[in-house]
Structure 1
Amino acid sequence: MRDRQSTPQPEPAPFEDLPPEAAPITRRTMTLGVSMLVTAILAALALVVPTPYAMRSPGPTEDTLAQDLIQIEGARTYESTGELRLTTVSVLGGPGYPMTAGQVIQGWLDPRRSVLPVEAIFPETTTQEEQQEVSQAEMVSSQESATAAALTELNYDVPAVLDVAGTEEGSGAAGLLEEGDVITEFQGEPVGTYADLIDGLAATEPGDTVTLGVRRGDRTLDVDITTTGNGERAVLGVFIDPRYDFPVDVSIEIENIGGPSAGTMFALGIIDKLTAEDEANGQVIAGTGTMSPEGTVGPIGGIEQKLYGAVRDGATWFLAPADNCDQVVGNVPDGLHVARVSTLAEARAAVEQIGRGHGADLPTCS
């Protein structure tokens, strides 16, 4: 007989190594678990639910002295060693492109961004496509106004036909001038440039009655208009849509940027290219502001974001419209110096002063 070998059996596990018994599931435990799960699901959904907000963030900046941005023919141009950067704002949200709650929270936590109700940025009845069309039209108009202001600042005569686009309700011109009228005279003197009209108004006191020569179709009329006050300036209450005959051919090529707020930097770029002086002289100067044909720097939106965009792209100086100073104070990033400007002449002088190393003497917003 063959010997049988017994197979060794494993020792039983000690009592303390056995897995613990699972706690019994009570109704309270189940309720708590379901509540936590529902809360987590609702919180996750809340982060992706559309909200009625839009967010402004620092947008790209562009150097108006870059070789291909402003092109000039018909006059000698000069090189510059500095940069004059226009600033922009990127907007997230708006008609057709709502922000999620998660994006809103991120915007609230980031000092470089601002979250606003959609209607504070976009008119309620405007679609995204309509807003883009308006923005592009404003950009074209700002380029024309900047060119007129820059050439006038450089003592060029800039002939223009002054078409009436409308009148301001309640003004002296309301009901007297019509859309399509052409202003040809001011107080008996010919008006051949936008500056002629502005100079005439500058010598007029608010409340004075002035006589405009107007061409309406085939007729020529004399229209008496009582001016109103705008601070210390007399105003007609007329919206002018000038048609310019520029003595120098200026073209501005820029893509994916709209609105009127680049006007001041466009005008400074044109002046820099047409003057032998190296105004910026190696400095990186950013800025913003609308530009009227007569050289007034106007306020814009989103200046807080533009300040951050400027310093991000290497600027150490920023030209800010005087009417935006309330938004500038307390929002200037480290390393950026702000100069306050009200006119193109002031902005030009500021660039020259910064280029000479004397920017510390410029007026600020503080």
Structure 2
Amino acid sequence: MTALHLWLRHETRTTERRTPLVPSDARRLIESGVTLTVEDSPQRVCPTEDYAAVGCHIAEPGSWVTAPRDAVIVGLKELPDEPAALIHRHVLFGHAYKGQPGASALLRRFLAGGGTLLDLEYLVDDTGRRLVAFGYWAGYVGAALALLHHRGRLTAPLRPTSKEELDERLRAVAGEARALVIGALGRSGRGARVALGVAGADPTCWDLAETRDLDRPALLDHELLVNTVLTTSPVPPFLTDQDLDDPGRRLRTVCDVTADVGSPLNLLPVYDTPTDWDHPVRRLREEPVLDLIAIDNLPSLLPLEASGDFSAALTPLLLDFEVDGAWGRCRERFDAAVRELGAGEGKPSDG
């Protein structure tokens, strides 16, 4: 069997500091016989020289387009618009299976080149549980930003920081807050609860039982909402425009950790574009005031902690890359999406 060649690409999004593989795990892969090429990236939280020191080959940013056809291109966020035809197997968060903007265009690029999307969101065990995720840190950062804003202490533009520095800021605004975390038992919900706890807030915690029959007046009676639920099947929305116009609404700050904008399954369909590091907060209503935070790469604000945890979970799976299991399920989901595009039953090449 041909040795696995992984190619860690530079992220083109300027606010993306995370990496799916940290140098210590890169060393582990190389010692197991994997060839690992790493593109230089001045914004990646781990310096390029640290990868070179453990035996990685170093390449120019964006050079994955000319990588050997059998190389597996590993990244996190969106691919650049070119090339139009994608010939490789790509590991990333594709956001291509729920009708999001640009989803069909991305899938057609894979069809054009014979490549394959192995979407990290669909890298799951045989019960459907996700095996790699940034969820904990997304929830942690999202709740922290929401609380800081609620206390009038959030400054923009946002900048990457460390957990120690963020916790210091949270402790500086400590006190009770009438906060609600939806999806409280999941990874993101757990992170949100911990961050709120650092600031001395004891949030109301809702999960499946509470959202099956949503108590909308109770939701609107909270001052701060952190939503961490990302659904894959139709569910009644948690907030509607009508709720926002309720004159008795106490809700003032909403953080949508999922930022599932453009999806028909969006549980907070009260906004149509995410916020970002330069403009992290958007006002949705003036009277009574309601502000939104919906940043789609929250964990990149704690890039070292988030990358270390993610890499630790991904590395064992990459060591079993050619084994069916979770990667086979990823491929099956891609094939299903291709069929949904009306591309027929033929399967594109693995490269």
Please, what TM-score do these two structures have when normalized by structure 2?
Answer: 0.23
Please, what TM-score do these two structures have when normalized by structure 1?
Answer: 0.23
Q: Which has more radius of gyration?
A: 1
Name the one with the larger strand percent.
1
